[in-house]
Structure 1
Amino acid sequence: MSLPQIRRGRRSAGDHSREAILAAARKLFAEKGFEGTSLRQVAREAAVDPAMVHHFFKGKDELFASSVELPADPAEVLAGVEMMDPSVRAEAIVRAVLTLWEGPAQHGLVAFARGTIGSKAKSGMMREVVSRAILSRVMAGVSGPDEQVLLRGNLVASQTVGLILARYVIRLDPLASASQDDVVRLVAPTIQRYITGDLDSLK
């Protein structure tokens, strides 16, 4: 049985076009956000025909996902969370975050977090990921005016990102050494308050 041939030498024009499209998409998504970016704009920025974008990517969602290069898929990490009653959702969210960050993807996640903090473009991309792929699931079904639900989601993100940075990136003890159960017990009530609790004290 013959072994598959390994491609060598210079990259093809197709490879170059795909990379140019991804580079353009990262730039525009970071600057304009997901809603403010069109496939035609990406094609113009990459100096390719719009048909070339459709050749490599089925649509804007696939292009966005390919542009971000996340170490983990938010849909898998948060699977089922949006189906839970919002009033009891926080513990599942915290446990999902801890399980992910203490699993095989930890090194990649830490590198991704550090790279995001130091890059304006990556921070812009991460903002879009948090809004579209993470908070949309975390806040699904939460009642209230749109502006208030958005604020609640921002507060959940602030608590979760703070936990990740302190425990896994900065490794601030004793939080970094605490057990998962202790972290859930201490952090989940605050996140639950942000999701469904009384926010009047913040006014």
Structure 2
Amino acid sequence: MVRRTGRRPGNPDTRDAILGAARTAFAEKGFDGASIRHIATVAGVDPALVHHYFGTKDKLFLAAMNSPIDPSVVIPEALAGDPDLVGERLVRFFLGIWDSPAGKAGVAMLRSAVSSEWTARLFREFVVSQVLRRVRAVVPLRPEEAQMRVSLVASQLAGLAMARYVIKVEPLASAPPEVLVAAIGPTIQRYVFGDLPGVWPDS
């Protein structure tokens, strides 16, 4: 069999090389700035092989982050339904993931982001490109307010993850999910749709 030139053979080493190049590119250039062609060049493969392994750039990014979920699927599901219950649904959905076996990957990702600036950049790109953008695409928000609102939501949920799953502050760490849904859901709801005094004084 004649091996094609210009690409690595299709094996685990090839996949690891692509993922390594992708992590570096996403951390240094951001999600929008990193291209499949550049990642393929660094990995020593054809761009078509990157698509063969991972499909889209979004899928490659999720693989590079070792994400336990695909936000393009789960976020629309979490946000579908009564707009007045968006806050509760987001918290319930968030806890459902982090309390599941998949949550272990999230805890590892968060710990790594805290200890490494390089990983923190990757985690930030994940939050912005894969989570916040998808929330903005589903929830009808005024363009001039959307970024601040979804950033506030992210800050609340990231703080919850850190306190409950990493630092394990009691009684938060062992509280039943529905207790947290009832306590935190209204705050998320206000961040999404409510008045935020001092942020937009003319609104």
- TM interval, short-chain normalised: 0.7 to 0.9
Counterpart of 2:172 in structure 1 is 175
CA displacement at 1:199 relative to structure 2? 1.4
Is 1:143 the equivalent of 2:141? yes
Between 31-40 and 113-122, the greater mean CA deviation after superposition: 113-122
Q: CA deviation at 1:61?
A: 2.4
Alignment partners' CA distance in 2, 1:185 and 1:157: 18
Whether the 8 Å CA contact 2:78–2:90 is kept in 1: the answer is yes
Q: What's the counterpart of residue 195 of structure 1?
A: 192
> By how many angstroms is 1:83 displaced?
2.6
Moved more, 173-182 or 22-31: 173-182
Preserved CA contact (<8 Å) 2:85 2:189? yes
Q: Is the 8 A contact 1:24 1:46 kept in 2?
A: yes
Structure 1 pair 105/59, CA: closer, same or farther in 2 (3 Å)? Answer: closer
1:47 paired residue among 41, 44, 47: 44
Between structures 1 and 2, the one with greater helix share: 2
Q: 1:62 is matched with which residue? A: 59
2:87·2:189 contact (CA, 8 Å) conserved in 1? yes
CA deviation profile, 1:153-176 (whole Å, cap 9, x unmatched): 000000000011111110111222
The answer to whether the aligner puts 1:117 opposite 2:114 as a matched pair is: yes
> Could you tell which deviates more after superposition, 78-87 or 161-170?
78-87
Normalised by the length of structure 2, the TM-score is 0.82
1:2-53 CA distance string (max 9 Å, x none): xxxxxxxxxx843333221211111111121111111111122223343443
TM-fit CA distance, 1:185: 1.6
C-alpha distance in structure 1 between counterparts of 2:105 and 2:40, whole Å = 30
Q: Tell me by how many angstroms 1:137 deviates.
A: 3.7
> Could you tell me which residue of structure 2 aligns to residue 18 of structure 1?
15
One-letter amino acid of the structure 2 residue matched with residue 143 of structure 1: L
Whether contact under 8 Å (1:153, 1:194) holds in the other structure is yes
* TM-aligned CA distance change 1:99 to 1:51, over 3 Å: closer
Which of residues 89, 94, 97 in structure 2 aligns to 1:92?
89
Task: Pick one of 77, 96, 113 that aligns with 1:80.
Answer: 77
Across the aligned residues of Structure 1 and Structure 2, the Cα RMSD in angstroms comes to: 2.3
- Whether the 8 Å contact between 1:57 and 1:63 is mirrored in structure 2 is yes
Q: Does the aligned pair in 1 maintain the 2:68–2:105 contact within 8 Å? A: yes
Q: Percent identity?
A: 43
Measure, in 2, the Cα distance between the counterparts of 1:17 and 1:138.
34
How far apart are the structure 2 equivalents of 1:23 and 1:191? 36
TM-score (norm 1): 0.82
Task: Point out 4+ residue stretches in structure 1 off by more than 4 angstroms.
Answer: none
Unpaired runs of 5+ residues, structure 2, are: 1-7
